[in-house]
Structure 1
Amino acid sequence: MRLSNVWNLGVKELQGLWRDPALLLLIGYAFSLSIYTAGRASPDNLSNATIGIVDEDRSTLSDRIAAAFMPPHFVPEQITTSEMDSRMDQGRDTFTLDIPPDFERDLLAGHAPAIQLNIDATRMSQAFTGSGYIQQILNAEVAEFLAGYRAPTSLPVALELRSRYNPELDPGWFGAISSVITSITMLSLILTGAALIREKEHGTVEHLLVMPVAAAEIMLSKIWSMGLVVLLASAFAIIVVVQMLLQVPVAGSLPLFILASVLMLFAMTSMGIFLATVAGSMPQFGLLIMLVLLPLQILSGAMTPRESMPRIIQDIMLLAPNTHFVILSQGILFRGAGLSVVWPNLLGLALIGAGLFALALRQFRRFLT
């Protein structure tokens, strides 16, 4: 193997990528706007939920209840009874609270009046979380009104909450880091696979066959060139987008995370070459990416905790490179884990990468012949 061939072929791949505006746009979006929106959007967090309040009682208690729904959790608006159904049908309100007439009088008389709450269940996350918030607000306001004063609840046991690694419980922190991990996994597959299929579609594979280059040299050139692009883009995303723009602190060592990213890129670019040799065209490659990437992302722990999955799924997914990368990234970036903690996952990622490279090289030699 001649390193000069690996270098020159890799430079050729970078030049080909530079002339592909679609892939450049995808890289720019995946490591900038996609991460920023993932950090700002909080689909699982109750934020600015619209609630229409129909006050048919017009009493002191109903005024207190209406005033208790405040931003940033709720955006209240006083509406009439005739507007309830139409606003819900138009999707303008996530919740509609109807306080019936004589509600305060019935409550003081010892009766059990009911308040109607309509929920737009198509907004699943806010509907589930918001209904609990509304129930707590109503119970607190009614209890304080009947007691005649506001006072903190006195309990015999005090629970001191200390949230580690994310003291404000901001879901945007997790969303931003997870988006970086997802972009590294996705782009490393797409770029290497697209580079190989581009060679086939442009007819330059035949040129490579008559050149004095080995299959391993061609593969390594694509791996280092496309991996370098993703590595630089991920470093930009972590430093500029995550730390500067989103103000998400990184607890651990960035060089250690870069090392883990290099091993991850080695494994995923090898997998991308293997998939590209199996696919006959770019549309087929896109379908293979969907079939492979989605299960890897969902079952790796990037979206849901691995502990909530069946044990057999957890064991099988240890053969996937991004499972170890997710564990590594979350340990380093969130909890500040060092090399003494994450070295088993680094070793596992290196072994999986070596296995994928050997498998891809064997398939690539068949592809060239």
Structure 2
Amino acid sequence: MRLSWYKIWRLGVKEWWSLARDPVMLGLIVYSFTAAVWIAATAQPDTLSRAALAIVDEDVSPLSLRIRQAFLAPQFMAPEQIGLAQLDTRLDRGSATFVLVIPAGFQRRVLAGRPAALQLNVDATRMSQAFAGSGYIEQIALGEVAAFMHGVRADASARVALVARARFNPTLTPSWFGGLMELINNVTMLAVILSGAALIREREHGTVEHLLAMPVRGAEILLAKLWSMATVVLLATMVALLVVLRGLLEVGLQGSLPLFLLGVALHLFATTSLGILMAASARGMPQFGLLVILAMLPLQMLSGATTPRESIPAVLRELMLLAPTTHFVELSQAILFRGAGFEVVWRPMLALLAIGAVLSGLGLARFGAALRPR
């Protein structure tokens, strides 16, 4: 079968004009690659930031003062000193996530070598802060006790020290991971939505009859929709990388951007084909929207973008090797976080090419039926 690349080009330009006249889709593209990336990077949902801490100091000693002054920004807001009678009220109202109680005689018991305890009350309904904050508070409080006893930050009797070296994100900036993962997820989502919506628009606007009357093949129409929508997402990805992530958020992009964009192009080949296949199976935009929701949730949650794949059950972990997002997340993290070269990421790229070929073949098989008026 001989394809006319000129027809594919002209049909793709037609898709651009159709997208330009759709303000809702244009707004979704702009938001997904600018504001959504910024919000995901700066919201810091997985780190402790500006936690509300109140302290009940019944000891009123130099040691308790030292502990009170150790909780600093940005992890904590300025701790508020309250009375013991106010403890339950603050937690009930949600005005404090943590309430640390320093009992009377705490310093005297510590200096005498007798058992001493601090009580930490936690509002566990604030899940992300409750888990991380408890560890922070324990480490800070015990560190101050050790410093008060020995005059230094470490135990003077210690002979072994653990030196941590943070690779690929030396300043432990949480916005690096959040912003990049949001961009990766939005590339998948927009590729599926735009390609599928391009097909459904043909049916809803009544232009499917025009396509059927034209001297074009189904494969040419399919390829035109694939390359035109993939180009839009690819350009938006470049803007998000260079303007939002590197420019505004100052994310340290380690690897080769051309190599990453090659991986994006292969991923778009697979995901735009998936969007065409889903749209060809749907009867309208509402049904297509439901299919997108059902597909995107496992694609994002089980791909390794939010949690390491090693923590996923073995059956799902193996099953997700059939999903393009698994390989795209792997190569994206390798290139952008660790500066990997082609010799490291050629396997996920080959997997994306194979998955894209299968999905495009399935999409083409359903495409002819989708073009017929219902």
The CA deviation string for residues 296-337 of structure 1, in whole angstroms up to 9 with x for no partner, is 111111111112223332222111111111111111111111
In structure 1, the partner of 2:55 is 53
CA distance in 2: counterparts of 1:93 and 1:27, whole angstroms: 39
CA distance in 1: counterparts of 2:153 and 2:294, whole angstroms: 56
Identical pairs, percent? 56
Aligned with 2:92 (options 79, 89, 97): 89
In structure 1, the partner of 2:64 is 62
Can you give the 5+ residue segments of structure 2 that lack an aligned partner in the other structure? none
TM-score by length of 1: 0.94
Residue 49 of structure 1 aligns to a residue whose secondary structure is coil
Offset of residue 111 of structure 1: 4.8
Question: Aligned pair count?
Answer: 368
Counterparts in 2 of 1:193-272, with a 5 A limit?
Answer: 193-272=196-275
Aligned with 2:12 (options 10, 13, 18): 10
Counterparts in 2 of 1:1-369, with a 5 A limit?
Answer: 1-75=3-77, 76-108=79-111, 111-145=114-148, 147=149, 149-154=151-156, 155-369=158-372
Offset of residue 148 of structure 1: 5.9
Evaluate the alpha carbon distance shift between residue 163 and residue 115 of structure 1 in structure 2; reply closer, same or farther with a 3 A threshold. Answer: closer
CA distance in 2: counterparts of 1:109 and 1:344, whole angstroms: 63
Offset of residue 32 of structure 1: 0.7
CA distance in 1: counterparts of 2:241 and 2:122, whole angstroms: 39
- Indicate conservation of the 8 Å contact 2:144/2:153, yes or no: no
Return 312-321 or 102-111, whichever deviates more: 102-111
The CA deviation string for residues 148-189 of structure 1, in whole angstroms up to 9 with x for no partner, is 633533432333332221112222211111111111100000
TM-score by length of 2: 0.93
- Indicate conservation of the 8 Å contact 2:56/2:99, yes or no: yes
Can you give the 5+ residue segments of structure 1 that lack an aligned partner in the other structure? none
Offset of residue 195 of structure 1: 1.3
The one-letter amino acid of 1:306's match is: R
Offset of residue 69 of structure 1: 1.3
Offset of residue 368 of structure 1: 2.3
Q: CA RMSD in A?
A: 1.8
CA distance in 2: counterparts of 1:5 and 1:151, whole angstroms: 72
CA distance in 1: counterparts of 2:153 and 2:20, whole angstroms: 65
CA distance in 2: counterparts of 1:345 and 1:148, whole angstroms: 53
Return 278-287 or 109-118, whichever deviates more: 109-118
CA distance in 1: counterparts of 2:337 and 2:110, whole angstroms: 49
Return 284-293 or 201-210, whichever deviates more: 201-210
Moved runs in structure 1, 4+ residues, more than 6 A? none
Residue 247 of structure 1 aligns to a residue whose secondary structure is coil
Offset of residue 65 of structure 1: 1.5
Residue 49 of structure 2 aligns to a residue whose secondary structure is coil
Return 117-126 or 225-234, whichever deviates more: 117-126
The CA deviation string for residues 28-68 of structure 1, in whole angstroms up to 9 with x for no partner, is 11101111122222222122111011222322222122111
Offset of residue 74 of structure 1: 1.4
Offset of residue 121 of structure 1: 0.7
The one-letter amino acid of 1:356's match is: L
